Amino acid sequence: MSKDDEAQVRIFGTVISTYTRIVQITSEEAGLIHQTIATPANSPQNRHPFGKVPVVKVDGLELIESVSIAHYLDNAHNQAALQPFEPSHRAVMDKWVAIANNYLFPLFEEGLVMPWIMHRVAGYPLDPERINNALPQISRALGFLELELQNDGAWTVIAGETGITLADVFLYPILRSLELTPQGEVGIAQCDHIKAWLETLKNRPSIAATRWEIEKG
């Protein structure tokens, strides 16, 4: 029986995808065997009502929306180890997950990550105007994260014994995909605290096991 036949979590999503990776990392943290079935967003095979990926099948359920999927996997299969028990710490985690999803992902994805993926993978020409227009806002967002990490450790102070929460799980692929673009790499290189946090997580087994092809060099 192959690993795919044994999969407990079946993830339907694009292979280079921030949100697919968030579910892959959560599955790894929960010790679940997972399989990713390449499914383009906005395609007839994709069962998400708004055309997004991933869609996940687990325990006889079909789940959409990464926040709900990650919470389910952690609650049902990981004794909620990725969520702090203390309510005030949980509020901090929820805040950072919301910042990641509502502000950072759209800003980074539209301004830099998607233009570079389309260029590298599909050979589309880069749109310098689109990139240049996004850079000041991306730079401000990185400055905000760096200051928050420097002043009080931001989301990193709530990680208990496991050393990681869902805030890290959501933020890592979002910041790492930015770092994989030339402009993002330069921006992050100037942020010592973001860089150190990324470096620490890079070696965590759940992160290493879910590396994108483009990271493998």
Ligand X SMILES: N[C@@H](CCC(=O)N[C@@H](CS)C(=O)NCC(=O)O)C(=O)O
- Among 57, 65, 120, 211, contact with ligand X (rule: CB under 6 A): 65
Question: Would you give the binding string for ligand X spanning residues 19-58, x where CB under 6 A is met?
Answer: x---------------------xx--------xxx-----
201: three-class secondary structure by DSSP: helix
Considering the rule CB under 6 A, would residue 170 count as an interface residue with ligand X? no
What's the min distance (Å) between Cβ of 140 and ligand X?
Answer: 22
Listing DSSP states for 2-60 in one string gives -HHHH-SEEEEE-SS-HHHHHHHHHHHHTT--EEEEE--TTSTT---TTS-S-EEEETT
Report the candidate in 11, 120, 136 with the shortest Cα–Cα distance to residue 73: 11
- Among 18, 156, 206, 210, contact with ligand X (rule: CB under 6 A): 18
CA dihedral for 181, 187, 192, 197, sign (positive or negative): negative
Give whichever of 67 and 198 is closer to ligand X, judged by the CB atom: 67
The window from 59-67, 152-160, 161-169, 199-207 that contacts ligand X (CB under 6 A) reads 59-67
By residue count, the chain amounts to 217
What's the min distance (Å) between Cβ of 67 and ligand X?
Answer: 6
Considering the rule CB under 6 A, would residue 66 count as an interface residue with ligand X? yes
What's the min distance (Å) between Cβ of 66 and ligand X?
Answer: 3
Give whichever of 51 and 182 is closer to ligand X, judged by the CB atom: 51
Given 3-state DSSP classes, what are the helix, strand and coil percentages for the chain, each rounded to the nearest 5? 60, 10, 30
Considering the rule CB under 6 A, would residue 178 count as an interface residue with ligand X? no
Listing DSSP states for 52-74 in one string gives -S-EEEETTEEEESHHHHHHHHH
Size of the site for ligand X (CB under 6 A): 11
| Binding interface with ligand X (CB under 6 A) | 17-19, 41-42, 51-53, 65-67
